[in-house]
Amino acid sequence: MWFCTACGADSPKWAGRCPACGQWNTMVEEKVSAGAASGSSKPLGGSRVKATPKAVNDIAAVDEPRLHMPSEELNRVLGGGLVKGSIVLLGGEPGIGKSTLVLQNLLAIRNKRILYVSGEESATQLKLRADRIGRGSDNCFIVCETSLENIFEHIESIAPEILVVDSIQTIATDTLDSSAGSVGQVRECAAALLKFAKESSVPVILIGHINKEGTLAGPKVLEHIVDAVLQFEGDRQYMYRLLRAIKNRFGSTSELGIYEMQQRGLREVSNPSEMLVSRHGGEELSGVAVGVTLEGIRPFIIEVQSLVSSAAYGTPQRSVTGFDAKRMNMLLAVLEKRVGFKLGVKDVFLNIAGGLKVNDPALDLGVIAAILSSNVDIAIPHGWCMAGEIGLTGEIRPVTRIEQRITEAEKLGMSDIIIPAGNLKGFDTSRVSIRIHEAAKVADAFRILFG
Ligand code: TYD
Ligand code: MG
């Protein structure tokens, strides 16, 4: 059989372009034994019992029973805990801390039997890691196994209440000839584990590796099999790690969990703003602006640093970390054309503190303010922050959830906030003591900041 590595579609013959998803050059050949091929097309559970359609209103609504995880950040991303009988895929680049995150959480659950299947590390390696994190539960069992059939035997003997498979790409079933990590194997193994989760209502956590392109290696297929896909990301050079839900059948996908990797495991960062704004020892520096951004529904305050200097060589340099480079170029063009700053001959460096990647357009105003501040070499006073999206005409456009941004800024002791004009609508400003400045255009914001 030929399988598409992008979407997992199968086809009896090779094709240059996947008939299902249209990607080029993604079909790979895999040997499938006759039994497995027909097995995978059977509905899960193989039951022939017909279900009778019911009116939506007649279906009793039951709250999904959830297992509360020790880490509150993880609970939030899961939508309130691990749902019984659900299957969760935790993806991330190698070395980002997936095994640490899961092991650390499991070791802190004392009253549940847990089976941790590791296909990647030896029991001693896992023990070393567990010791690093600290002594945990006596009910957490570890087995190094890569055969799916053997894993089910272990499940029978241990009868776990939570099952972890680290990683799905290392396990293989005997029914297929292909090697572990191939599309067919990943799909068969995940389907078997899914069936186990639904029948036993034991939650299953699958760990999966992400390849360079940022997709789960091959098994894109997994994304529609599983109930939730969590992604653990971060820059390996920095210690911050972000946990996002990409898909969640039992919760919102806009939640974000923040961790810090330390010597003794991951630490939850429950107030991200405090760590993202550096203090500079009370000194006011030019080129530093504070933006109020939103990740999911959680507002936080982020420091933008910029350095603008005369280009030493012919072509000016543009260097960005943590922000979209194209977007910065657009903002520079707006500054040049609409506000009249000649930045075309300057080197511009931009950095988002803490190694975070921010996609929220409301950070535009902070980026522009940092660049302008460095350009005129005037520091933005302490306690000032801002939020606003910049349009091509130089107007400052309204942003979402402005009330939350304002309250978060106030909570963190900010004294002044610049927001887009007309963004407030019904918000009752008398409830907050932070001074609110409205700006309709970049030029207005510039006047407010630098006079
Ligand atoms: P790991 O969980 O093995 O990553 P993954 O399972 O995603 O491949 O974590 C790997 C990194 O984390 C490793 O480089 C060491 C670091 N680490 C710490 O800094 N502190 C710790 O307490 C632990 C356990 C790991
Ligand atoms: Mg690992």
Query: How far is it, in rounded angstroms, from Cα 245 to Cα 432?
Result: 32
What does the pLDDT look like over 60-91, one tens digit per residue?
777 778 889 999 989 989 988 999 999 999 99
Which phi and psi angles does 44 have, rounded to 5°? Answer: -60, 135
Rounded Cα–Cα distance for residues 250 and 256 (Å) = 15
Whose CA is closest to atom 14 on ligand 1? Answer: 95
| Backbone angles phi and psi of 291, in degrees to 5 | -110, 150
CA distance 259 to 261: 7
Residue where one domain finishes, among candidates 218, 253, 270? 270
SS3 state at 237: coil
What's the rounded Cα separation, in Å, for the pair 406 and 385?
10
Q: How far apart are CA 274 and CA 141, in angstroms?
A: 38
Torsion sign, CA atoms 37, 43, 46, 50: negative
Buried b (16+ CB within 10 A) or exposed e, 218-254: bbbbbbebbbbbbbbbbbeeebbbbbbbeebebbebe
Shared domain check, 16 and 1: yes
- The answer on 298 and 256 residing in a single domain is no
State which ligand 1 atom lies nearest to the alpha carbon of 93.
Answer: 7
**Pick from 19-23, 186-190, 405-409: least confident:** 19-23
Q: Would you say residue 121 lies in a domain? A: yes
Provide CB contacts within 8 A for 111, sequence distance 6+: 139
From CA 303, how far away is CA 369, in angstroms rounded? 11
pLDDT tens digits for 250-293? Answer: 888 777 788 888 888 899 887 776 666 666 666 788 999 999 99
Mean residue pLDDT across the chain: 85
Q: What is the mean pLDDT of residues 297-318?
A: 86
Q: What is the pLDDT of residue 244?
A: 85
Residue 52 lies in a domain: no
Write out pLDDT tens, residues 114-136.
Answer: 999 999 888 898 888 888 888 77
**CATH number of the domain that residue 227 is part of:** 3.40.50.300
Q: What is the three-class DSSP state of 131? A: helix
Same-domain pairing of 109 and 250: yes
Domain residues for the domain of 300 are: 275-450
- Distance in Å, CA 98 to ligand 2 centroid: 6
Count of C-beta atoms within a 10 Å radius of residue 16: 8
Farthest-apart Cα atoms in the chain, separation = 77
Pocket test for ligand 1, best of 170, 261, 264 (most atoms within 8 A of CB): 261
State the Cα–Cα distance between residues 399 and 389, nearest whole angstrom. 7
H helix or E strand, kind and range, residue 228: strand 228-233
Distance in angstroms between the alpha carbons of the first and the last residue of the chain = 70
Q: What is the pTM of this model?
A: 0.73
Ligand 2: centre distance to CA 5 (Å)? 22
Q: Which residue has the higher pLDDT, 314 or 391?
A: 391
Is residue 181 one of the residues assigned to a domain? yes
Residue 55 included in any domain: no
pLDDT confidence band for 42 (50 / 70 / 90): very low
pLDDT at residue 49, as a whole number: 62
Residues 8 and 69 reside in one and the same domain: no
Pocket, ligand 1, Cβ cutoff 6 A = 92, 94-100, 129, 132-133, 261, 263-265
Any domain includes 38 = no
- What ligand has the least distance to the C-alpha of 91? 1
Spatial CA neighbour of 296 closest among 360, 215, 206, 387: 360
Tell me the pairing of strands 298-310 and 288-295.
Answer: antiparallel
The residue whose CA is least distant from atom 1 of ligand 1 is 97
Residues in the chain, how many?
451
Q: Comparing 215 with 435, which gets the higher pLDDT?
A: 435
Q: Are residues 229 and 325 in the same domain?
A: no
Number of domains the chain contains: 3
CB atoms within 10 A of CB 441: 18
> Residue 291 has what pLDDT?
93
CA of residue 99 to ligand 1 center, whole Å: 7
- Nearest alpha carbon to residue 219 among 171, 168, 267, 254: 168
Alpha-helical runs (H) found in 159-217? 183-200
Same domain, 285 and 250: no
Residue 37 lies in a domain: no
CA of 122 to the centre of ligand 2 (A): 11
How far apart, in whole angstroms, are the C-alpha atoms of residue 241 and residue 96? 8
Q: How many angstroms from the chain centroid is the CA of residue 51? A: 37
Domain-located, residue 35: no
Shared domain for 248 and 392, answered yes or no, is no
CATH label of the domain that carries residue 281: 3.30.230.10
Q: What is the atom index within ligand 1 of the atom nearest the CA of 261?
A: 19
Give the domain-ending residue among 270, 304, 336.
270
* Residues 6 or more apart whose Cβ sits within 8 Å of residue 165: 117, 119, 151, 171, 193, 204, 205, 206, 207
289 and 199 in a single domain? The answer is no
Please tell me whether residues 152 and 233 are part of one structural domain.
yes
Q: Residue 215, by phi and psi: left (phi above 0), alpha (psi -120 to 50) or beta?
A: beta
DSSP code per residue over 371-426: HHHHHHT-PPPTTEEE--EEPTTSBEEP-S-HHHHHHHHHHTT--EEEEETT--TT
144-148 contacts, C-beta under 8 A, 24 or more apart: 144/117, 144/118, 144/119, 145/117, 145/118, 145/119, 145/171, 146/119, 146/170, 146/171, 146/172, 146/180, 147/171, 147/172, 147/173, 147/174, 148/172, 148/173, 148/174, 148/188, 148/189, 148/192
Q: Give the Å distance between the CA of 260 and the centre of ligand 1.
A: 11
Residue 313 maps to a domain: yes
pLDDT at 220 exceeding the cut of 80? no
Beta carbons within 8 Å of 31's beta carbon, 6+ residues apart:
1, 176, 177, 178
Q: Indicate whether 161 and 75 sit together in one domain.
A: yes
Do 98 and 238 reside in the same domain of the chain? yes
In sequence order, what are the residues at sequence separation of 6 or more whose Cβ sits closer than 8 angstroms to the Cβ of residue 283? none
Q: What mean pLDDT do residues 196-214 have?
A: 85
Distance CA 293, CA 246 (A): 19
Is 240 in the same domain as 291? no
